């Protein structure tokens, strides 16, 4: 099975990720924006057991609702727990080059910055994520 490694910016925490992502997305939700201090966030989502901490001790933080794991030394956000569906959402900026191939934008209703590209721009979530097939007009 395919295995990739990712680490925080200082290297104290290392992740081992096995298998293929369930989805790779850009999230514009207010929770991600607040946690990252960014206009939107790149996420690569895997079954929780596919994302293992190999090295170091990430610390949980909750900004709004989602539990996110960070490195306390450098502040890098590593992954979020989407515990209700048994998924972990990895900060896609930490993946090796070429491993992030985004398929869609979600939670565009919260967007502060329209991102015009050829991907679908969901108002909330797609039906496969339990949402409605509604889009924003970018």
Applying CB under 5 A, which of residues 6, 17, 27, 92 lies at the interface with Zn ion?
Answer: 27
Tell me how far the alpha carbon of residue 86 is from its chain's centroid: 14
Return the number of other C-beta atoms located less than 10 Å from residue 9's C-beta. 13
Q: How far is the CB of 116 from Zn ion (least distance, A)?
A: 20
Is residue 8 classed as helix, strand or coil in its secondary structure?
coil
**Should residue 63 be labelled a site residue for Zn ion when binding is judged by CB under 5 A?**
no
**Should residue 12 be labelled a site residue for Zn ion when binding is judged by CB under 5 A?**
yes
**Should residue 8 be labelled a site residue for Zn ion when binding is judged by CB under 5 A?**
yes
Footprint of Zn ion on residues 96-135 (CB under 5 A)? none
Size of the site for Zn ion (CB under 5 A): 9
Applying CB under 5 A, which of residues 6, 17, 25, 29 lies at the interface with Zn ion?
Answer: 29
DSSP 64-127: SSSEEEE-TTT--EEEEEEGGGTEEEEEGGGSPTT-----EEE-GGG-SS---SSS-BBSS--G
Q: Which window, 14-22, 27-35, 110-118, 124-132, contacts Zn ion (CB under 5 A)?
A: 27-35
């Amino acid at each position: 099975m395919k295995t990739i490694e990712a680490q925080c910016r200082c290297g104290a925490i290392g992740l081992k990720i096995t298998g293929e992502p369930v989805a790779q997305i850009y999230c514009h939700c207010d929770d991600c924006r607040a946690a990252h201090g960014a206009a939107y966030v790149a996420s690569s989502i895997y079954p929780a057991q596919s994302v293992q901490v190999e090295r170091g001790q990430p610390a949980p933080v909750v900004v709004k609702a989602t539990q996110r794991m960070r490195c306390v030394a450098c502040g890098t956000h590593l992954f979020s727990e989407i515990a209700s569906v048994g998924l972990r959402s990895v900060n896609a900026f930490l993946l090796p080059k070429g491993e992030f191939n985004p398929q869609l934008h979600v939670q565009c209703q919260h967007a502060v910055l329209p991102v015009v590209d050829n991907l679908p721009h969901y108002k909330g979530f797609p039906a496969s994520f339990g949402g409605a097939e509604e889009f924003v007009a970018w």
